[in-house]
C-alpha cells in the first residue's frame, strides 16, 4: 500500500516532486509532450490545444492524418532538434508536440453523464508527475470513468506525466476541484460508495461489498489520505501483502485495487466490467 491515513497531531510532510525539480504553476502556459503515444493522443483529442510539432520524417508518417489540426505548425527536423526542446535524456521517439493545458472539466458535468454503474478514482496530493501518469494509464486500462484531484498540491499534467501516461492524459477526464473533502461529499450525494485505501485497514480490498457506483481514494506515499479527506470515506480497505514489504508505490497500489474492484468484485456480482466514458465534447 501507499501509506496510512493521516492521524491528528502528525506533522505534515512537505509535498512536491523529486528533489531538485520545480513545479510550474498550472496557468504557466504551454508544455512539450513527447513520445508517439502521448503525442498521438493529444493530436486526436479535439479539446487539447496544440501549437507546434517537431518530428523526424518517419515519426511524422507514423502519426498519419492526426497531424491535420487547424493552426498546428509542423516542422520536420533531425532527432537532435527534437531533443533540444526536451528534458535531458527524454525518450522522444522522434516527435515532440507543444500543447496547452486542457480546459477545466467541472465535476457536475462528469456526474451528469454517468450511468447506474460508475467508477471514480480520487487522488489526494499525488505530486509526482510520473506516478500520476502511470496511474492515469492504469485507470484507462481498467475502465475508470474519471479521476478527481485537488487543484493545488497535485501533479502537474506536463510532458513527464504525459509520457508516463502513454496517451491516457488525453483519454480520461481529470477533474480538478478546490476542496477534495467537499468533492467526496458530493460523490456521496450522487450515490457513490467512497472507499479509502489504507495500509492499516482491517478489510482486504477483495472483501469489499460490490457497489455499482464507487470512488476509490488514494493518498500520497508516506503521508497517506489526509484526515479531513478520510472523514468522508464510507470505509477503508487494504491490499494484502507479504509482511516483508511494508508498502507499495502508489501507482502499483492503484493498479492492484482497480483490478480487484473491476474484475473480482464486479465479476462476483455478475456484472461485466464497463469501459470508461470519454470527456463530453466542447
pLDDT digits (tens, 9 = 90+) for 230-255: 999 999 999 999 888 888 899 999 99
Please state, in angstroms and rounded to a whole number, the distance separating the CA atoms of residues 61 and 58.
5
What percent of the chain lies above the pLDDT cut of 70?
Answer: 85
Burial profile 196-234: b = 16 or more Cβ within 10 angstroms, e = fewer:
bbbbebeeebeebeebebbbbbbbbbebbbbeebbebbe
The answer to whether 276 touches 140, Cβ cutoff 8 Å, is yes
- The cell for 195 is 472507499
Rounded mean pLDDT of the chain? 87
Q: Which CATH architecture has domain 30-99?
A: 2-Layer Sandwich (3.30)
DSSP 210: P
How many residues are there in the chain?
282
Neighbouring residues of 83: CB distance < 8 A, sequence distance ≥ 6 = 90, 92
Instruction: Specify the pLDDT at position 10.
Output: 34
Please state, in angstroms and rounded to a whole number, the distance separating the CA atoms of residues 77 and 50.
18
What percent of the chain lies above the pLDDT cut of 90?
Answer: 74
Task: Note the pTM of the prediction, 2 decimals.
Answer: 0.85
The answer to whether 51 touches 30, Cβ cutoff 8 Å, is yes
The C-alpha angle 128, 252, 201, rounded to 5 degrees, equals 100
CATH topology of domain 107-268: Alpha/beta knot (3.40.1280)
Instruction: Specify the pLDDT at position 145.
Output: 97
Closest CA to 97 of 133, 135, 60: 60
Establish how many alpha carbons lie within 13 A of residue 278's alpha carbon, considering only the half-sphere containing its beta carbon.
10
Closest CA to 256 of 213, 210, 218: 218
Chain segment 93-149, per-residue pLDDT in tens: 999 999 999 999 999 999 999 999 999 999 999 999 999 999 999 999 999 999 999
Instruction: Specify the pLDDT at position 264.
Output: 83
Q: Is pLDDT above 50 for 168?
A: yes
- What are the structural domain ranges in the chain? 30-99, 107-268
Question: For residue 221, what pLDDT band results from cuts at 50, 70 and 90?
Answer: confident
Compute the average pLDDT of residues 69-89: 95
Compute the average pLDDT of residues 211-218: 96
DSSP 102: P
Compute the average pLDDT of residues 251-261: 94
Distance of CA 171 to CAs 42, 47, 69, 245, Å? Answer: 9, 11, 18, 33
Residues facing 98 on adjacent strands: 32, 52
Instruction: Specify the pLDDT at position 272.
Output: 62
Amino acid at each position: 500500500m501507499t501509506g496510512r491515513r493521516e492521524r491528528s497531531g502528525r506533522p505534515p510532510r512537505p509535498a512536491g516532486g523529486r528533489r531538485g525539480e520545480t513545479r510550474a504553476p498550472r496557468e504557466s502556459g504551454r508544455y512539450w509532450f513527447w513520445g508517439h503515444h502521448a503525442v498521438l493522443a493529444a493530436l486526436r483529442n479535439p479539446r487539447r490545444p496544440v501549437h507546434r510539432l517537431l518530428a523526424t520524417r518517419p515519426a511524422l508518417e507514423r502519426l498519419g492524418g492526426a497531424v491535420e489540426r487547424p493552426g498546428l505548425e509542423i516542422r520536420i527536423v533531425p532527432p537532435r532538434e527534437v531533443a533540444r526542446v526536451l528534458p535531458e535524456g527524454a525518450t522522444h521517439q522522434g516527435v515532440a508536440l507543444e500543447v496547452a493545458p486542457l480546459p477545466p472539466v467541472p465535476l457536475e458535468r462528469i456526474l451528469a453523464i454517468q450511468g447506474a454503474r460508475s467508477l471514480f478514482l480520487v487522488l489526494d496530493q499525488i505530486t509526482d508527475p510520473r506516478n500520476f501518469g502511470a496511474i492515469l494509464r492504469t485507470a484507462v486500462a481498467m475502465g475508470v470513468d474519471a479521476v478527481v484531484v485537488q487543484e493545488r498540491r497535485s501533479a502537474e499534467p506536463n510532458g513527464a506525466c504525459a509520457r508516463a501516461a502513454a496517451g491516457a492524459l488525453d483519454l480520461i477526464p481529470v477533474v480538478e476541484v478546490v476542496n477534495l473533502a467537499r468533492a467526496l461529499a458530493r460523490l456521496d450525494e450522487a450515490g457513490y460508495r467512497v472507499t479509502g485505501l489504507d495500509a492499516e485497514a482491517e478489510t482486504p480490498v477483495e472483501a469489499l461489498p460490490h457497489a455499482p457506483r464507487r470512488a476509490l481514494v488514494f493518498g500520497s506515499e508516506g503521508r497517506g489520505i489526509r484526515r479531513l479527506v478520510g472523514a468522508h470515506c464510507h470505509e477503508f480497505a487494504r491490499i494484502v501483502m507479504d509482511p516483508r514489504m511494508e508498502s507499495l508505490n502508489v501507482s502499483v497500489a492503484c493498479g492492484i485495487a482497480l483490478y480487484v474492484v473491476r474484475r473480482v468484485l464486479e465479476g462476483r456480482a455478475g456484472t461485466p466490467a464497463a469501459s470508461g466514458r470519454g470527456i463530453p465534447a466542447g
